[in-house]
Chains A and B, each alone.
Chain A
Amino acid sequence: MKNGIAPDVIIRAALMDTSPAHPDPLVEIRDLNFAYDRRPVLTGINMTIPRGKVVAIMGLSGCGKTTTLRLIGGQLKPTSGTVRVAGKLVHELDDEGLYALRRRMGMLFQFGALFTDMSVYDNVAFPLREHTALPEELIHDLVLMKLNAVGLRGAHHLMPSELSGGMARRVALARAIALDPLLIMYDEPFAGLDPISLSIVGELIRKLNDALGISSIVVTHDVQESLKIVDYVYFMAAGQVVAEGTAEDIRCAEEPFVHQFIWGEPDGPVNFHYPARPYGDELMEQPTKPRPWWT
Chain B
Amino acid sequence: MKATDYLRRLGHFVTDRLWRLGFASRFLLMTVLYSGTALKRFQLTIREIYFTGVLSLIIILVSGLFVGMVLGLQGYDTLQRYGSSEALGILVALSLVRELGPVVAALLFASRAGSAITAEIGLMKATEQLSAMEMMAVNPIARVVAPRFWAGVISMPLLAALFSAMGVFGGYLVGVQLIGVDEGSFWSQMQAAVDFRQDVLNGVIKSVVFGALVSWIAVFEGYDAEPTAEGVSGATTRTVVTSSLAILAADFVLTAFMFRGV
Contacts and interface: CB of A to CB of B under 8 A. Distances in A.
Interface stretch (A21-29, A105-113, A135-143, A144-152): A105-113
Contacts of B128: 109-111, 113
B138 A115 contact: no
B131 interface: yes
B136 A111 contact: no
A103 interface: yes
Interface residues of B, number: 12
A172 B127 CA distance: 13
Interface residues of A, number: 22
Contacts of A106: 135
A102 B138 CA distance: 9
A107 B132 contact: yes
A116 B131 CA distance: 14
B132 A113 contact: yes
B31 to A, nearest CB: 16
Nearest to B136: A127
B134 A75 contact: yes
A126 interface: yes
A150 B137 CA distance: 23
A103 B137 contact: yes
B252 to A, nearest CB: 38
Nearest to B139: A99
B137 A111 contact: no
B45 to A, nearest CB: 15
A130 interface: yes
A291 interface: no
A126 B144 CA distance: 13
A220 to B, nearest CB: 17
Contacts of A191: none
Contacts of B143: 130
A73 interface: yes
A109 B132 contact: yes
A131 interface: yes
Interface string B188-231: 00000000000000000000000000000000000000000000
A242 interface: no
B129 interface: yes
Nearest to B51: A117
A102 B135 contact: yes
A216 B53 CA distance: 44
A107 B135 contact: yes
B129 A115 contact: yes
A158 interface: no
Nearest to A178: B136
A218 to B, nearest CB: 16
Interface in B18-46: none
Interface string B114-140: 000000000000011101101111110
A100 interface: yes
Interface in A156-209: 172, 175
B127 A113 contact: yes
B132 A111 contact: no
A44 B135 CA distance: 25
Nearest to A95: B139
A1 to B, nearest CB: 23
Contacts of B139: 99
B135 A130 contact: no
Contact of A99 (B127, B129, B131, B137): B137
B137 A113 contact: no
A168 B23 CA distance: 35
Interface string A68-105: 00000101000000000000000000000001101101
Interface string B232-259: 0000000000000000000000000000
6 contacts: A105-B135, A109-B128, A113-B128, A113-B131, A130-B143, A131-B138
Given A102-B135, A116-B129, A130-B138, 17 more contacts: A73-B135, A75-B131, A99-B137, A103-B136, A106-B135, A107-B132, A109-B128, A110-B128, A111-B127, A111-B128, A113-B127, A113-B129, A113-B132, A116-B127, A126-B136, A172-B132, A175-B136
Interface of B: 127-129, 131-132, 134-139, 143
Interface of A: 73, 75, 99-100, 102-103, 105-107, 109-111, 113-116, 126-127, 130-131, 172, 175
The 10 closest A-B pairs by CB, nearest first: A113-B132, A102-B137, A113-B128, A99-B137, A107-B135, A109-B128, A103-B137, A127-B136, A130-B138, A113-B129
